[in-house]
Structure formats: structure tokens, C-alpha cells
Amino acid sequence: MNAELRELADEYARALENYLVGRGEAALQDAYELGRKTLAKGLGMLDVATIQQRVLLKCLMRAPTTKEGTRILRMAHKLFVESLLPFEMSHRRVQEVNTALRESEQRYRNLVDTARDVIYTLSIDGKIKSLNPVFETITGWLRDEWIGKEFSPLVHPDDLPRATTLLQVVLAGRVPPTFELRVRSKSGAYIPGEFTATPQTQEGRVVGVLGVARDITDRKRAEEALRGLNEALEEEIKRIAHALHDEAGQLLASVHIGLAEVARDLPPHTSRRLDDVRGLLTKIEEQLRHLSHELRPTILDDLGLHPAIEFLADGVSRRTGLQITVEGVPGKRMPAPTETALYRIVQEALTNVTKHAQASRVTIRFARDGRLLRCSIGDNGAGFDVLAVQARRGARGLGLIGIQERLNAVGGTLNITSIPGSGAELIICVPVEAGGADADSPRR
Amino acid sequence: MRFALIADEVRVAIDSDADIVSARQKGRGLASQCGFPSTDLAVVATAISELARNIVRYAVRGEVILRLIDDNGRRGVEVVATDDGPGIPDITLAMQDGYSTSGSLGLGLPGVRRLMDEFEIASDFGKGTTVTARKWKR
Ligand SMILES: Nc1ncnc2c1ncn2[C@@H]1O[C@H](COP(=O)(O)OP(=O)(O)OP(=O)(O)O)[C@@H](O)[C@H]1O
Ligand SMILES: Nc1ncnc2c1ncn2[C@@H]1O[C@H](COP(=O)(O)OP(=O)(O)OP(=O)(O)O)[C@@H](O)[C@H]1O
Ligand SMILES: [Mg+2]
Ligand SMILES: [Mg+2]
């Protein structure tokens, strides 16, 4: 027995003596305080038991009669209970914490078991530690077929290098942004999944990966459908543009020739009045040609976004009197869907300015920042309450929605800022390949 | 009062450590009158100890009221510890394990809540504290 315990034992012995000579409650209180002190010192219940055993033995050996011995035993028991009560309090705390823990574990389990997204954990060597039941519903595999195995055969071979890199990122303690991987189902078909992955840590060390994977088949389908729809729309526009340009253009040209013939047969003063009509006709022809080019500018395919936008701006400016400036350049050529999307967006933005803004000036600005192309269209018109317009349900215009959907399809974002009374600005960002600001050129 | 009183209540003024002992003694006496097993007597004494020592430490003086109560034939002991001391600014915090403003164990209040069957605490910051705890006979 060490010095600390011996000191406590002496105190305990004094309390027992006091109790035996009839000091009653005061002695019991002393025993209780002693238990508290033992607890505070970080000692345990077994230490109290040892102390009690020691003190009691000594005391009993001095007992003159069996009767006295029995009395000592009975009273010592009461004292012992007092000295244990502080431990009982702390024991009940542990019980309560354990119950709470079990309940929270149960709640967590229910959540995991009924989740509609796959919840997975990996060990640091890339083996699957756990999967929730929905994994079976989505992939057709049994969980037992994969738990304890490497995750890699589940991932599309083309996606595997990325998956491996991401695993390293997470194991280094970082949280990557959500990512997409194709997962091989039991039938052999690949399921597009959107993943999160976070490090699981224990005492500051990464011991695994915890993540959620969502089946995004439906979203992918919808995006695909939208892309198809946009492409069909472009085709249709092309057809109309050609009809306008070729057929209506041809007809107008014939009218010109016809008029010229008529003019020849008329007296000079009458034929001068016809000249005015022919002037108007030329203007119509011009506008028709311009409109048909704007509808589906071959410039966009042949020369690129910047000339196409300048051509568009020029046409709108002439028709409406708006003063439109194009600043900056979009840089290197982008994939056709991105260029078309940007062209259509600027087109709708300019239409909106003409229809709603009562503006006198518009600035279209391009800026390239690494892998992002920023395009803003700002006017100096009336502006509008952006939140109110976006919250509008039912009957609302399709322009801004169309802009948003086109951007979704190419992974871009839209921000609108407007101060009522001093104009509106659309800010569009689309991801592009990194690279310099090459001059616009025909698409290879 | 929610419960029928079986006998006269006992009031013990709390002013010093010696008063803690006499409150314990009275409480133990009442509880044994109603036939509590001996370990539960110790539980009641513990609750009184903890509440009374809080009074001595944080409110300087106060009172412990002890009652034998009856709830449709079920008998029990009610311990009320009340004082006009500084009160507790944040009861939720004070009820947390290990929370102590005096560098002590922070064992008292949560311990009493767990040992007893019922526990209520009311405190007006600046106006004092009243803790009520009950133990029913098993
Ligand atoms: N540049 C702008 N200046 C002022 N208000 C604008 C501007 N752009 C959009 N708005 C406001 O936002 C609303 C929504 O625009 P959106 O393009 O979605 O629909 P629309 O132009 O009304 O109809 P649609 O484009 O389908 O022909 C407009 O009705 C208008 O109130
Ligand atoms: N009667 C009271 N008046 C004012 N404050 C009180 C009173 N009783 C408790 N408190 C406050 O509540 C806190 C928690 O009380 P509790 O009895 O749980 O722990 P403690 O007294 O600090 O430590 P221990 O009881 O382990 O010695 C106290 O630190 C004190 O700030
Ligand atoms: Mg519009
Ligand atoms: Mg206390």
C-alpha cells in the first residue's frame, strides 16, 4: 500500500472508530467525503474496497466478543456504502452515456440502412469496409461480394486513374469536391454516380474514407435529352435561316428585277417614285439577310465566337439604336456546343435589353481566367428585381430559364446582378480548356 | 403541492458543514420511517449532502426542507434545497457533468439527478436557487 492509500486508510479508520462510538451521521458524512476525495484523486472503487478490507480486519481482530464483531461488521457495511456512493454517481453517468451512445448508434444505423444513396467506407489500402443495403438495389451486387475487397474493379477502367488520385487526396486528409465515377453493376452495365469522399480520422490520423454515392442515371438522361433538344433546335433554326436567306432572298431578288423592268416602261417622273420603293426593298433585303445570318451565323462555325457576337451586336444595334460595345476576346476556340450556347445566351440577353430595359448602352465583355471564360452583358437600363423574377411561378418568360439550362448542359454558371434604376448585368462563366488567347480561326 | 404530505415537513437551516450533517440525519430518519432499504437511505443522504454543500459553497446560507409524500399509495421522500443566493446563470451548463465554477468535480447536480427518481431545478439569476428531488420507495 502506498503513502497516498495509507493516508486515506487512516482517515477511513478514524471514521469507522467514530461511527462505532456513536458519532452517527457525522461519521457517515466523513466516509462519504472520503469516497469523494478518493474519486477526485483519480483512484478507483477497488482502492476503496482495499482500504475497507484493511481497516475492517484490524478492527475485527480487536473485537472482544463475537457479538461485538457482528455489530462492527454491520456498521462497517453502512460506512462502506457511504464511501462507495460517489462512485455510484459516476457509474450512473457512464451508464447514461452508454445508453445515449447506443441510441445514437441505432439512429445512425437506421439512417444508413434506409438511405437512398450508397454510403460506403474504405480502408486506407482501398478495400471496401462497409456498404449500406441500397448498394444491392442499385448495383445488383450482394454487399458480401464486395466487403473486404478492393474497390477498383467496381469502377469503369477509364475512371480508375482519377478514382485512385482522389483516394490519395482523401488519405492525405483533404476533402475533394464531389466527383463522378461510373460504377459497374452486376449486369455489366455502368451506372453514373456522383460521389463525395471524406477522410475518417482517429486521434488525428486518417484511418479510412467515408463517402456517399448517388445514382445519377436520371439526371444524366435528362441532360442528354436536353442536349439532343438543343441540337434539334439548332438544326431547325438552320433550316429557317436558309429558307429566309435563300428562298425569301431569291423572291425579293425577282421582285427587284421585275420592278426594274416596270420602271423602264414608265415615264421618268413616275419611275422616280418607284425608286423610293426599290430603296425600301433593298433595306428589307438587307435586314432579311442579316436576320438570317444572326439566326444561324455561319460566321460562328467559320470564324468563331468573337466575330459572330460582333456581327450580332452590329445587327441589333442597327435595328434598335442601342449602342453596343464588345470588349475583350473569348480566346481559343471552344467546342461547338459551348460556342453555340454562348452565342444564344448573348442573343437572348440582347433581346431582353431591347424588350425590357429601355437602355441606351450595352457592354459585352469577355475575359479568360485560366480554365474559365467569363462573359458579361451589362446594360444601363431600368434594371429589375432579380429575386422576384426568379421566384416567379407559372407564367414567366423562358429567356432566363433557357440561359440557365444551356449553361447546365455545358457546366457553366449564371449570375445576375441588377440595381433597379441603373441597369442589369448577366455574368456567365463556362469552363474551357486552359490555354492562351489564340486568334479566332475556323474550326478544325 | 402535487403530493399528499404524510407527516409534518422538516426544515433545516443550512449555514455550515455541521448543518449538512444534521440535514442528512433528518432525511435518513424520515426515509427509514417509510421503510426505505438501507442503500436507498444512503442515496437520500447523498442527495442532501450534495445540495446542502452547494448552498454552503455558492449561496452561503439557505434551507433544506424534507417531506414524506404519498402519490396514490406510493410513498417517497422529497428533498427541497432552497436559497436566496446568487442563482445560476445557465442551468443547462450547471447540469452538465464536470461543469464547476469552483474548480471542483462538477459531480453534485448531475449526480443527484441520476441517484434520485425525480429532479427539478429552478434558478433566477440574482435571486436564488431551488432544487427539488424525490425518491420513491421501491
Ligand atoms: N436587361 C434587363 N433589364 C430589365 N429587366 C430585365 C432584363 N432582363 C430580364 N429582365 C426581366 O426579367 C424577366 C424575365 O426575363 P426572361 O428573358 O426570362 O423572360 P421574358 O423576356 O419576359 O420572356 P421570353 O424571354 O420568354 O420572351 C423579364 O420579364 C424582365 O422583367
Ligand atoms: N445553490 C447554488 N447557488 C448558485 N450556484 C450554484 C448552486 N448550486 C450549484 N451552483 C452552480 O452550479 C455549478 C455545478 O454544481 P455542481 O454541484 O454540479 O458542481 P460543483 O459544486 O461545482 O462541483 P462538485 O459538486 O463536484 O463539488 C457550480 O459550480 C455552481 O456554479
Ligand atoms: Mg427574354
Ligand atoms: Mg456541488
Tell me what the pLDDT averaged over chain B comes to. 92
**CB A403 near ligand 1, within 6 Å:** no
Nearest residue in chain A measured CA to CA from B37: A78
Residue A402 reports pLDDT greater than 90: no
- Strand residue runs (E) in A40-112: none
Identify the residue whose C-alpha is closest to ligand 2 atom 1.
B55
The C-alpha angle with vertex A398 and arms to A396 and A401, in degrees rounded to 5, equals 105
Which residues of chain A lie closer than 8 angstroms to B42, CB-CB? 28, 78, 81-82, 85
- Residues A139-155 have a mean pLDDT of 96
- Does the distance separating the beta carbons of B49 and A25 come in below 8 Å? no
For residue A319, the tally of other CB atoms under 10 A from its CB is 13
Nearest residue in chain B measured CA to CA from A38: B105
Q: What is the pLDDT of residue B81?
A: 96
User: Is A76 in contact with A56 (CB distance < 8 Å)?
Assistant: yes
* d(C-alpha A202, C-alpha B133), whole Å: 40
Choose between A240 and A131: higher pLDDT.
A131
A443 close contact with B: CB closer than 8 A: no
* d(C-alpha A295, C-alpha A240), whole Å: 8
- Does the distance separating the beta carbons of A36 and B105 come in below 8 Å? yes
B6 close contact with A: CB closer than 8 A: no
Identify the residue whose C-alpha is closest to ligand 1 atom 3.
A357
* d(C-alpha A426, C-alpha B81), whole Å: 68
Of A26, A81, A89, the CB nearest to B21: A26
Q: What is the pLDDT of residue A153?
A: 96
Nearest residue in chain B measured CA to CA from A32: B46
Q: What is the pLDDT of residue A437?
A: 47
* d(C-alpha A431, C-alpha A426), whole Å: 17
Residue A112 reports pLDDT greater than 70: yes
- pLDDT tens for A1-22 read 788 889 999 999 999 999 999 8
- Residues A143-164 have a mean pLDDT of 96
* d(C-alpha A217, C-alpha A214), whole Å: 9
A96 close contact with B: CB closer than 8 A: yes
* d(C-alpha A57, C-alpha A63), whole Å: 10
Length of chain A (residues) = 444
Confidence class for position A38, pLDDT limits 50, 70, 90: very high
Confidence class for position B4, pLDDT limits 50, 70, 90: confident
Q: What is the pLDDT of residue A261?
A: 84
A277 close contact with B: CB closer than 8 A: no
Residue A438 reports pLDDT greater than 50: no
Identify the residue whose C-alpha is closest to ligand 2 atom 17.
B108
Mutation test of the interface with chain A: which of B21, B32, B36, choosing the one with the most A Cβ atoms within 10 A?
Answer: B21
Confidence class for position B12, pLDDT limits 50, 70, 90: very high
- Torsional sign, CA A38, A44, A45, A46: negative
- Does the distance separating the beta carbons of A93 and B110 come in below 8 Å? yes
Residue A36 has which C-alpha cell?
A: 469523494
Confidence class for position A113, pLDDT limits 50, 70, 90: very high
| C-alpha distance across the termini of chain B, in Å | 22
* d(C-alpha A111, C-alpha A137), whole Å: 16
**What ipTM is given for this predicted complex?**
0.91
The ligand whose atoms approach the alpha carbon of A426 most closely is: 1
Question: Residues with beta carbon < 5 A to ion ligand 4?
Answer: B 54, 108
Q: What is the pLDDT of residue A342?
A: 94
- pLDDT tens for A217-266 read 998 888 888 878 888 888 888 888 878 777 787 888 888 888 888 888 88
Q: What is the pLDDT of residue A442?
A: 54
B95 close contact with A: CB closer than 8 A: no
Residue that is written with C-alpha cell 474496497 in the block? A49
- pLDDT tens for A337-378 read 899 899 999 999 999 999 999 999 999 999 998 889 999 999
Residue A436 reports pLDDT greater than 50: no
In chain B, the domains with their CATH numbers are: 4-136 (3.30.565.10)
- Tell me the pTM: 0.60
**CB A392 near ligand 1, within 6 Å:** no
* d(C-alpha B138, C-alpha B136), whole Å: 6
Choose between A289 and A117: higher pLDDT.
A117
Collapse the DSSP code of A190 into the 3-class scheme (helix H, G, I; strand E, B; otherwise coil) and give the result: strand
- Residues A324-328 have a mean pLDDT of 94
Residue A435 reports pLDDT greater than 80: no
Tell me what the pLDDT averaged over chain A comes to. 89
Residue A186 reports pLDDT greater than 70: yes
Alpha carbon B2 to chain centroid, angstroms: 17
Q: A319 CA distance to ligand 4 centroid (A)?
A: 85
Which residues of chain A lie closer than 8 angstroms to B46, CB-CB? 32, 85-86, 89
Q: What is the pLDDT of residue A273?
A: 81
| Closest of A222, A206, A153, A140 to residue A181, by C-alpha | A153
Flag the least confident range among A8-12, A72-76, A85-89, A221-225.
A221-225
**CB B105 near ligand 2, within 6 Å:** yes
Ligand 2: nearest atom to the Cα of B87:
4
The C-alpha angle with vertex B24 and arms to B120 and B8, in degrees rounded to 5, equals 75
- Does the distance separating the beta carbons of B114 and A78 come in below 8 Å? no
| CA within 13 Å, CB half, A98 | 6
**Three-state SS annotation for A162-206:** HHHHHHHHHHCCCCCCCEEEEEECCCCCEEEEEEEEEEEEECCEE
Q: What is the pLDDT of residue A226?
A: 80
- Does the distance separating the beta carbons of A92 and B115 come in below 8 Å? yes
Which residues of chain B lie closer than 8 angstroms to A26, CB-CB? 21
Of A25, A40, A93, the CB nearest to B24: A25
Q: What is the pLDDT of residue A14?
A: 93
Residue A440 reports pLDDT greater than 70: no
Q: What is the pLDDT of residue A233?
A: 84
Provide CB contacts within 8 A for A367, sequence distance 6+: A328, A373, A374, A375
Q: B101 CA distance to ligand 2 centroid (A)?
A: 7
Question: Residues with beta carbon < 5 A to ion ligand 3?
Answer: A 352, 397, 399
- Does the distance separating the beta carbons of A39 and B107 come in below 8 Å? yes
Residue A168 reports pLDDT greater than 60: yes
Residue A293 reports pLDDT greater than 60: yes
- Residues B37-56 have a mean pLDDT of 94
B25 close contact with A: CB closer than 8 A: yes
